[in-house]
Amino acid sequence: MRITAVTALFADLPEAELTGWVVRGWVQPVRPDPDPTDADTATWDFLEIDVARVRLIHDLRRSMDITEETMPLVLSLLDQIYELRSTLRDVLRALETQPEPVRTSVLAALRRG
């Protein structure tokens, strides 16, 4: 999806603002030239995950009034939460493949906490 199609999804998101988010590294669409200051926005390809990130940033900026200065911290913390959730899902899948005594032992250790 090109930048014009992404901004069309949001009535109050000008292309220049989205371009700024890309330049700041908040959103990382596929770009033929990996230079983050590449101004040829017509070549940027926003994947579904990028559009979801744009939606998140848009909501944080508009609905929660997160400032431009605070946004890197907020995004970093959210990225850490998403990574932690992914890791926990991996641990759960690995645990599900273990024999019952191992699962029981792990659950008991978690309860003792």
pLDDT at 24: 95
Cβ proximity of 65 and 43 under 8 Å: no
The model's pLDDT over 13-57, given as tens digits with 9 standing for 90+, comes to: 999 999 999 999 999 999 876 665 656 777 899 999 999 999 999
Closest CA to 45 of 97, 75, 84, 6: 6
What is the arithmetic mean of pLDDT over 83-89? Answer: 97
User: What pLDDT score was predicted for residue 98?
Assistant: 96
State the residue range of the domain holding 81. Answer: 68-113
Coil vs helix vs strand at 45: strand
How many structural domains comprise the chain? 2
Distance CA 68, CA 101 (A): 51
The answer to whether residues 74 and 55 belong to one domain is no
Domain match, 43 and 76 both: no
Same domain, 6 and 32: yes
Question: CA 99, CA 105: separation in Å to the nearest integer?
Answer: 10
- Whether residues 41 and 10 fall in one domain: yes
Task: Supply the mean pLDDT for the chain.
Answer: 93
